[in-house]
Amino acid sequence: MFMLPAFMPAASASEAAASAATAAEAPAPAAAAETAPAAPEIAIPVPKLTEADYPQIKGVNARVTVWLVAQLHLWFGAFVVAVPMFVFIIESIGMMTRDERYDNMAYEFIKVSITAYSLTAILGGLLSFGLILFYPDLFKYLSAVFKESMFAYALLFFAESAVLYIYYYGWHWLQGGNKKWVHLTLGLLLNAVGIQLMFLANAWTTFMMSPAGLDPAGVFHGDTWAAIHNFLWNPINIHRVVANVAYGGSIVGAYAAFKFLSAKNQAERAHYDWVGYNANFIAISALLPLPFAGYYLTAEMYAYSQQMGITLMGGVFAWIFIIQAVLIGALFLSANYYLWCGMGRSEGAHRYNGRIKYIAIVLVAAFLVWFTPHTLVLTNSELKSLGGPYHQILGVFGIMPAKNTAVNFLLTFTFMSFMFYRRANKVATVSWAAAGNAAQIALFAVGLINIVVLGVYYGYFTNTVYKVAASIPQVLTTLTIIIVSTVLDTLMYKGAKDVAPLHWGRMSTRSQYALFLLAVSFTWLMGLMGYVRSGIRQHWHISNIFRDASPDAYTPGLGYAASVVSVGTIIFMAMVIFVFWLSTISGKHVVAKGYWKEQA
C-alpha cells in the first residue's frame, strides 16, 4: 500500500487524539526532524472530521453566516488599516506645506475611521464566535498551530486601540512645533501596529491555502513562524496593502461625495469637492499598481501549486474573471469620468476637452478586450455554426497576452487622464517646456508601441513560455511611463502659471455618483475575489491537509456567491452610511433653550 500513514484518516476526533499521542512518543521521521527538531514534544495532527463534528442550528446556514461576517470584518478591517496610511501622508503634506486644509482633511478621515474601527472589532469578535460555534474543530486546530501569534494579535489589538485613541483625541492637543512631530510619530506607530495586525491575520488565511511547517505526515510540530511565513503570505500581504489603500480612498471618496451632495452652502461644497478629489487621487494612485500585485499573487499561486492555479484560472472559477473585468472596467471608467468632470473646475482645462473622447475610446476598447472570454460555453448547434469553441476573430482577444496588453493600456491611459487633469489649469514656464513635452509624447508613444509589440509578437508568434514571460516587460514599460513622466512633469511644472482661477465646488452631481460607483464596485469586487480566494481550496479547510466534511463542503456556484456578496455589500454600505451619518451628527451642537437650569 502506497498511501502514506499521514493520509490514512483517523476515524474520529478521539482517534486523531490518540494518533497525536503516538506521534508525540514516536521518534520523528527524518524529513520531520529537518523541519522541526527543536520541539519534538509538540505534535498536532490534522483531525479527520465527519458531518457530526459540525454543530448545526436549525434555520441558520453556518457557511453563509460565517462567510458574511468574515467578509464584513474584512471590508471594515481593510478600511481602518488603510485610512491611517494616507492620513499619515496627508498630515505630513500639511506639515510640509503648512496648509491647514490638509491637517483638517486628515482629521476628518480619521474621525470617520474611528467608528469603523469599533465596528471592525465587533465583527472580528462575531467572526471568532461564529467559527467556535460552527467550526469548532477547525478553530481548535488553527488555535493550536497559531497559539503564540494569536496571543500577539490580542496584544497588538490593545496597542492599536491605545495608539489610535491617543492619535485621534490628541489631534488638536498635539499641534505645532515638536508636539506636531510627536503626533506624526504616533501616526507612524499606528500604521506599524495596524499593518502587523493585518499581516498576522493574513498568515492564518494563507496557511489555509498553502500550509507550511508540517511534516510529510501532515503533523504540525510547533514551528509557528514556518506556518506564518507560508508560501502565499507575502504575496497576499503586498496585494492587500495596495488594495486596502485603493479601497480606503474609494470609501472616503464616497464620504466626500455624500457630504458634497448634502452641502448647505458653497464653502461646504468647495471643501468636500476638494476632499473628494484627494480621495479619488488616493484610490487611483493605488489602483494603478493593483493589477500588478494581483498578477504577482496569481503567479505565486501557480508556483505553489499548478493545480491551484489551474482551478483558479482555467476551472470553474475561470468565468469569474469576466465578472472581474466588468467590475474593474466600472472602477476605471468611473475614476476617469470623475477626473474628466474635475477638468470643469477651470476654464484652462477646455483646451484638453477634445482629447478626452479618444481616451474614453481606448479605455472602452481595453475593457472590451479584457471582457472577451476565451472558451465559450456553447450548445452543440452553436458549436457547429461557429466552427469551434473559439470565435474566429474575437477568440484572439480571449487569451492572456491580449488581456495583459489591454490592462496596460487601461493603466497608461488612466494615467494620461490624470496628467491632463494635472496640467489642465497650468502653463509651464521653464525654458525647456517644448522639449519636455516632446519627450513625454515620445515616452508614451514608444511605451505603447512596446506594449503592443510585446503582447502581439510574444503572445501569438512564440511558445507558451514567452507568452507568460512577456507580461513582465509590459508591466515594466507601463511603470516606466508613469514614473519618468511624473518626474518630468514635476520638474517642468515647477513654478508654473495658473491659466484661470480654480473653482472648487464647481462639479456636477453626476460626478459625485461616479465616486459612489467607485466605492460600490470596489466593495463588490473585494467580496467576489474573497469568494475565489477561499473557493480555490475547494473541499478542504486547509488545502490538501484538513478536509472539510461539513454539509457545505461543496464549492458554491458563481450565481450563489454573487447573491451572498450582494447581500454583504448592501449590509456593508448601510453600515458605512451609518458611519458617515455618525460623523455628521458628532459635529452638531444643538442649544436646548429652556431645558437646562440657569446658572447663577
Partner 1 sequence: MINFLKVSIFSLLMVGGFWGFSNFGIPQIKPAPPPVEEKLDLGAMTMDQFIALGGKIFNGKGTCTLCHNKMGRAPMLDAIGKNAPERLKDARYKGTAKTVEEYIFESMKNPSAYVVAGFGKSGTNDTESPMPDVTGGGIGLNEAELAATIAYLQDSGGAEVTVTIPAMPAPGAEAPKAEEAAPLKTAEEVIAKYTCGACHKVADQTGEIGPNLTKIGATKSKDYIRQAILEPDAVIAKGFTGGMMPPTLGEQLKAKELEMLVNYLAGLK
Span 7-46, contacts to partner 1 by CB under 8 A: 7-8
Give the DSSP letter of residue 315.
Answer: S
Would you give the binding string for partner 1 spanning residues 63-82, x where CB under 8 A is met? --------------------
In the three-class reduction of DSSP (H, G, I as helix; E, B as strand; rest coil), residue 61 is classed as coil
In the three-class reduction of DSSP (H, G, I as helix; E, B as strand; rest coil), residue 587 is classed as coil
Nearest of 549, 539, 564 to residue 135 by alpha carbon: 549
Residue given cell 514635476 in the structure block = 490
Distance linking the first and last C-alpha atoms of the chain: 94
Q: Let me know: does 287 contact 331? Beta carbons within 8 Å.
A: yes
CB of 509 to partner 1, least distance (A): 9
CB of 537 to partner 1, least distance (A): 9
- Closer to partner 1 at the Cβ: 167 or 524? 524
State how far the Cα of 563 lies from the Cα of 471, in Å rounded to an integer.
34
Span 551-580, contacts to partner 1 by CB under 8 A: 553-559, 561-563, 566, 569-570, 573, 577
| 390 binding partner 1? (CB under 8 A) | no
Span 436-465, contacts to partner 1 by CB under 8 A: 463-465
Interface pick for partner 1 out of 27, 30, 96, 380 (rule CB under 8 A): 380
| 323 binding partner 1? (CB under 8 A) | yes
In the structure grid, which three cell numbers stand for residue 289, read together?
499598481
Give the number of other CB atoms < 10 A from CB of residue 370: 24
| 3 binding partner 1? (CB under 8 A) | yes
CB of 253 to partner 1, least distance (A): 13
CB of 570 to partner 1, least distance (A): 6
Q: What's the number of CA atoms in the CB half-sphere (13 Å) around residue 76?
A: 29
Q: Let me know: does 224 contact 145? Beta carbons within 8 Å.
A: yes
| 544 binding partner 1? (CB under 8 A) | yes
In the structure grid, which three cell numbers stand for residue 355, read together?
482629447
Interface pick for partner 1 out of 178, 379, 392, 431 (rule CB under 8 A): 379
What does the radius of gyration of the chain's CA atoms come to, in whole angstroms?
27
Interface pick for partner 1 out of 5, 55, 314, 551 (rule CB under 8 A): 314
Interface pick for partner 1 out of 2, 173, 595, 596 (rule CB under 8 A): 2
CB of 548 to partner 1, least distance (A): 8
State how far the Cα of 402 lies from the Cα of 397, in Å rounded to an integer.
5
Span 227-266, contacts to partner 1 by CB under 8 A: 257-258, 261-262
- Closer to partner 1 at the Cβ: 187 or 253? 253
Nearest of 368, 394, 389, 391 to residue 377 by alpha carbon: 389
| 275 binding partner 1? (CB under 8 A) | no
Phi-psi region of 382 (alpha: psi -120 to 50; beta: other; left: phi over 0): alpha
CB of 265 to partner 1, least distance (A): 15
Number of residues that bind partner 1 (CB under 8 A): 63
Give 593: exposed, middle or buried? Use CB within 10 Å, 0-12, 13-18, 19+. exposed
Would you give the binding string for partner 1 spanning residues 486-525, x where CB under 8 A is met? ---------------------------x--xx--xx--x-
State how far the Cα of 170 lies from the Cα of 164, in Å rounded to an integer.
10
Would you give the binding string for partner 1 spanning residues 278-307, x where CB under 8 A is met? -------------------------x-xxx
Interface pick for partner 1 out of 538, 541, 579, 583 (rule CB under 8 A): 538
Give 139: exposed, middle or buried? Use CB within 10 Å, 0-12, 13-18, 19+. middle
- Closer to partner 1 at the Cβ: 171 or 524? 524
Q: Let me know: does 47 contact 19? Beta carbons within 8 Å.
A: no
Would you give the binding string for partner 1 spanning residues 129-158, x where CB under 8 A is met? ------------------------------
- Closer to partner 1 at the Cβ: 95 or 399? 399
State how far the Cα of 490 lies from the Cα of 500, in Å rounded to an integer.
20
Nearest of 251, 252, 246 to residue 108 by alpha carbon: 252
Interface pick for partner 1 out of 145, 548, 579, 583 (rule CB under 8 A): 548
Give the number of other CB atoms < 10 A from CB of residue 148: 12
- Closer to partner 1 at the Cβ: 84 or 213? 213
- Closer to partner 1 at the Cβ: 450 or 569? 569
CB of 7 to partner 1, least distance (A): 5
- Closer to partner 1 at the Cβ: 566 or 586? 566
Give the number of other CB atoms < 10 A from CB of residue 362: 18
Give 155: exposed, middle or buried? Use CB within 10 Å, 0-12, 13-18, 19+. exposed
CB of 39 to partner 1, least distance (A): 24
State how far the Cα of 253 lies from the Cα of 267, in Å rounded to an integer.
18
In the three-class reduction of DSSP (H, G, I as helix; E, B as strand; rest coil), residue 10 is classed as coil
Span 193-222, contacts to partner 1 by CB under 8 A: 216
Q: Which stretch binds partner 1 (CB under 8 A): 97-105, 129-137, 319-327, 388-396?
A: 319-327
| 372 binding partner 1? (CB under 8 A) | no
How far apart, in Å, are the Cα atoms of 497 and each of 278, 425, 427, 488, 492?
22, 8, 5, 17, 11
CB of 261 to partner 1, least distance (A): 4
Residue given cell 456593508 in the structure block = 572
- Closer to partner 1 at the Cβ: 328 or 410? 328
Give the DSSP letter of residue 461.
Answer: S
- Closer to partner 1 at the Cβ: 149 or 538? 538
Dihedral sign from CA coordinates of 72, 73, 75, 76: positive
Phi-psi region of 445 (alpha: psi -120 to 50; beta: other; left: phi over 0): alpha
Q: Let me know: does 344 contact 506? Beta carbons within 8 Å.
A: yes
| 336 binding partner 1? (CB under 8 A) | no
Residues that bind partner 1 (CB under 8 A): 1-4, 7-8, 216, 257-258, 261-262, 303, 305-307, 310-311, 314-316, 319, 322-323, 326-327, 377-381, 463-465, 513, 516-517, 520-521, 524, 528, 538-540, 543-545, 547-548, 553-559, 561-563, 566, 569-570, 573, 577
